[in-house]
Amino acid sequence: MARPKIALIGSGQIGGTLAHLAAIKELGDVVLFDIAEGTPQGKALDIAESGPSEKFDAALTGTNDYADIAGADVCIVTAGVPRKPGMSRDDLLGINLKVMKSVGEGIAKHAPNAFVICITNPLDAMVWALREFSGLPHEKVVGMAGVLDSARFRHFLSLEFDVSMRDVTAFVLGGHGDTMVPLARYSTVGGIPLPDLVKMGWTTQEKLDAIIQRTRDGGAEIVGLLKTGSAFYAPATSAIEMAEAYLKDQKRLLPCAAWVDGAFGLKGMYVGVPTVIGAGGVERVVDIKLNKDEQAMFDKSVESVQGLVSACKEIDETLA
Q: Which residues bind ligand A3D (CB under 6 A)?
A: 9-15, 34-36, 39, 78-83, 92, 96, 99, 102-103, 119-121, 123, 144-145, 148, 176, 229-232, 235
By beta-carbon proximity to ligand A3D, the closer residue of 10 and 197 is 10
Amino acid at residue number 313:
K
Q: Closest approach of Cβ 43 to ligand A3D, in Å?
A: 9
Q: Closest approach of Cβ 162 to ligand A3D, in Å?
A: 27
Is 252 annotated as ligand-binding? no
Q: Closest approach of Cβ 181 to ligand A3D, in Å?
A: 15
Active-site residue flag, 20: no
By beta-carbon proximity to ligand A3D, the closer residue of 145 and 197 is 145
Q: Closest approach of Cβ 99 to ligand A3D, in Å?
A: 4
Is 71 annotated as ligand-binding? no
Is 288 annotated as ligand-binding? no
By beta-carbon proximity to ligand A3D, the closer residue of 197 and 231 is 231
Q: Closest approach of Cβ 238 to ligand A3D, in Å?
A: 7
Instruction: Return the HEC string of the chain.
Output: CCCCEEEEECCCHHHHHHHHHHHHCCCCEEEEECCCCCHHHHHHHHHHCCHHHHCCCCCEEEECCHHHHCCCCEEEECCCCCCCCCCCHHHHHHHHHHHHHHHHHHHHHHCCCCEEEECCCCHHHHHHHHHHHHCCCHHHEEECCHHHHHHHHHHHHHHHHCCCHHHEEEEEEECCCCCCEEEEEEEEECCEEHHHHHHCCCCCHHHHHHHHHHHHCHHHHHHHHHCCCCCCHHHHHHHHHHHHHHHCCCCEEEEEEEEECECECCCCEEEEEEEEEECCEEEEECCCCCCHHHHHHHHHHHHHHHHHHHHHHHHCHHHC
Is 64 annotated as ligand-binding? no
Closest residue to ligand A3D in the complex (CB): 12
Is 120 annotated as ligand-binding? yes
Instruction: Say which of 20, 110, 155, 176 is annotated catalytic.
Output: 176
By beta-carbon proximity to ligand A3D, the closer residue of 5 and 176 is 176
Is 10 annotated as ligand-binding? yes
By beta-carbon proximity to ligand A3D, the closer residue of 99 and 168 is 99
What positions carry a catalytic annotation?
Answer: 176
**Which residue ranges are tagged as binding site?**
10-15, 34, 83, 89, 96, 119-121, 152
